[in-house]
A and B are shown apart, each in its own frame.
Chain A
Amino acid sequence: MSVIRDNLITQLTTNLSGSNASVSSELPFTSGGETLYDKNMKTLYVDEEQISQDTLYAVLDRNNIEINSSSVTAYLQVDAKNQLSDINSIVSNVLSAKSVITNTITSESDYSSDYDLDAIVYTFEFRFDKTVT
């Protein structure tokens, strides 16, 4: 289990409470040819954390400082014809959930949207860089 994903889900659940969207702890897997966020609109699904590790500082005694670059993608699908009245707030609250991850060198979030027939899919991406201690 990814600590970053778990913490993000907890924070997203808090940030979206009282809104027209909710958060699932399930992965956005495909069932019956459809991803879960296709089936369950207005529910945010958070994917697995992707991690790459690089050397931030190489030192002569090889006690190098390593950096973990993590990214987490989340998906939210809503009806494009009848947009949620609070969609702007939802997007803003999802993006700000990045602040729950602390001790980072960089902490970024952004989103893009795409149409899928009469639905609009919001794809959120969170990126974090942390030193490995």
Chain B
Amino acid sequence: MAVINVTSGDQAVLTLGNDGTMAAPGGTHGLIVPTVQDISVGASTGSVRYSTLDSSASSAFTTVNENTITLNMLVDGDTFFGDGANVNNTIANKGLMQTSKEKTEIFFSVAFNEGDSTDEYYISGQGFLTGLTPTASIDQAVWISPMEIVVNGELSRTVVA
């Protein structure tokens, strides 16, 4: 057993791409979202509770999973507004804001460690960017924004072979 450390600077990495291969950790032309303060993987199993006359405790059955990726980041200009240069990755080219506005489905991976070497882990899927709310003030000195990926379908878990 070992906890997964995230202090080296190349762990807990969110990569975005136009397909699953590009969005995998270390994927060619993948957009690594920089200056992420925190990231959460929400893998929520839906459930319904019901009661029966012959039991003093409620019962439950599961419904569909609702998956999200949420994070807070310091806004990087090229990432947010696009570098206008990357011809292989439209998310990098147009930026997070435009991709969200256009409701383009994106592929992503969240590497728990580095996610590109044997026995390392990552979670991947596809979904839509939303929840961008950049804010600025003198006290905070830089632009900060939350972001959410509303996952379309299941999350995939990968242990690199």
Residues of A whose CB lies within 8 Å of any CB of B are 56-63, 65, 67, 105, 131
How far apart sit A62 and B6, CA to CA, in the bound complex (Å)?
10
Q: Report A64 CB to chain B, min CB distance, Å.
A: 9
**B36 touching A59, Cβ below 8 Å:** yes
**Which among A59, A63, A105 has the highest number of chain B CB atoms within 10 Å?**
A59
**A60 touching B37, Cβ below 8 Å:** yes
**B138 touching A62, Cβ below 8 Å:** no
Residues in chain B near residue A131, CB distance under 8 A = 141-142
- Stretch from B8-16, B50-58, B81-89 contacting the other chain: B8-16
**A60 touching B74, Cβ below 8 Å:** no
**A57 touching B142, Cβ below 8 Å:** yes
Partner of B13, one of A57, A61, A67: A61
Q: Report A65 CB to chain B, min CB distance, Å.
A: 6
Residues in chain A near residue B37, CB distance under 8 A = 57-60
Residues in chain A near residue B73, CB distance under 8 A = 59
**Number of A-B pairs, beta carbon distance below 8 Å:** 43
**A65 touching B12, Cβ below 8 Å:** no
Residues in chain B near residue A61, CB distance under 8 A = 9-10, 13, 32, 34-36
A-B pairs with beta carbons under 8 Å apart, 20 shown: A57-B35, A57-B142, A58-B37, A59-B73, A60-B6, A60-B12, A60-B36, A60-B37, A60-B38, A61-B36, A62-B9, A63-B9, A63-B34, A65-B35, A65-B142, A67-B141, A105-B139, A105-B141, A131-B141, A131-B142
Q: A58-B37, A60-B36 are in contact. List 8 more A-B contacts (CB 8 A).
A: A59-B35, A59-B36, A61-B10, A62-B8, A63-B34, A65-B74, A105-B138, A105-B141
A-facing residues in B62-118 (Cβ within 8 Å): 73-74
Nearest 8 Cβ contacts at the A-B interface: A62-B9, A59-B35, A60-B12, A60-B36, A105-B141, A131-B141, A61-B9, A59-B37
Encode B7-26 as 1/0 by CB contact (under 8 A) with A. 01111110000000000000
Residues in chain B near residue A67, CB distance under 8 A = 141
Question: Is the CB of B123 closer than 8 A to any CB of chain A?
Answer: no
**A56 touching B13, Cβ below 8 Å:** no
Residues in chain A near residue B34, CB distance under 8 A = 59, 61, 63
